[in-house]
Amino acid sequence: MPGMAAAFSAGGKAQGGKSASRLQAQLSAAAAQPAPQRNVPRRDPAPSRLAYRLQRLWLTPMVRVLTRVGLPILTVALALGLWLGNADRRAAILAKYEEVKTQIQNRPEFMVGLLKIEGAEPEIDQAIRAMLPLKLPASSFQLDLPALQDLIGGLDAVAAVDLRIRTGGVLEVKVTERVPAILWRHANGLELLDSTGHRVATLIARESRPDLPLIAGEGAEAHVPEALALLAAAGPILKRARGLVRIGERRWDLVLDRDQRILLPESDPVQALERVIALDRAEDLMARDFTILDMRNEDRPTIRLSATAVEEMNKIATGATKTRASR
């Protein structure tokens, strides 16, 4: 019995070893075989129509800018609009802004405490100080320099003005005055005019400015440059000139002493006056006793003698007649 059992055990082990080896071989063969393929549907790599359109839209520069910049700004603006929709909040912000603004404007470095005027005569200086609506010290932010410049420039005696705020709180006003060049006599008195005909000031008496020439007549103030050109051309007879008179708003008469008058033409009066000066140099014309020298006709100048000269000429003519008769 023991021998049979041992043989059986040995046979069983041998039988079991062969079964195990066979099972392992089957498992290896099964593992070596490829796994059965599942019937899974393949995914299309192309995007959907909506995804394609969104992708194309995102590639547009304007859309990208609006999305990255415009959308945040719009969001912030909307939030601020909602927050500022309250009237009390707006009033508080404005009040705080005005308070800070006033504090900054009234700082010492922005205050103007001195007015300095240069280039003006004492009378003009006083007129400027009196007319400026300034209460110093004042903040430089409260000074309207263009308005002040227009105000000062409105004075007849001021040709140009420049306003600057200098360091140290000084408002500097540089004035260029008009230079009187001629006197204009009209129905209401005497006016000082500059070389352009602009009014400078009113003159009380002619004796106050004997150095300036005189013009008169309707519309004379509108032709000051021409009048100055005539006076410059008068040259040697300028000392005898009392002035120029505008006749009919068309032409000039040069009035001399001894009640003499030179009638100048409407066109080219300077050239006509230069002819008079040439005749005077050649024939001592201005020394003759005449009342009117008419140069209005360029081809035929005429001269009107005084009553004394006419009487003397008549005497000479009568004497010559008697002498001929006696012969």
Provide the residue range defining the domain that includes 117: 108-177
Percent of the chain at pLDDT exceeding 70: 83
Could you give the CA distance from residue 147 to residue 240 in angstroms, rounded to a whole number? 47
Q: Which of 212, 218, 285, 276 is nearest to 251 (CA)?
A: 218
Quote the number of domains for the chain: 2
Does the global pTM surpass 0.75? no
Q: Are both 204 and 269 inside the same structural domain?
A: yes
Which pLDDT belongs to residue 317?
Answer: 65
Which pLDDT belongs to residue 7?
Answer: 42
Q: Are both 161 and 204 inside the same structural domain?
A: no
CATH number at 137 reads 3.10.20.310
Evaluate if residue 83 carries a pLDDT over 90.
no
Collect contacts of 153-157 with beta carbons under 8 A, ≥24 apart.
Answer: 155/124, 155/127, 155/128, 155/131, 156/198, 156/199, 156/200, 156/201, 157/124, 157/200, 157/201
Q: Are both 260 and 294 inside the same structural domain?
A: yes
Confirm whether 35 is domain-assigned: no
User: What's the pLDDT tens digit per position in 205-248?
Assistant: 989 899 999 999 989 999 999 999 999 999 889 999 999 999 99
User: Which residue, 161, 177, 193, sits at the end of a domain?
Assistant: 177
Confirm whether 78 is domain-assigned: no
Confirm whether 93 is domain-assigned: no
Q: Are both 271 and 189 inside the same structural domain?
A: yes
Round to the nearest angstrom and report the end-to-end CA distance of the chain: 222
Confirm whether 214 is domain-assigned: yes
Average pLDDT over residues 89-103: 87
User: What's the pLDDT tens digit per position in 99-137?
Assistant: 888 888 788 888 898 999 999 999 899 999 998 888 888
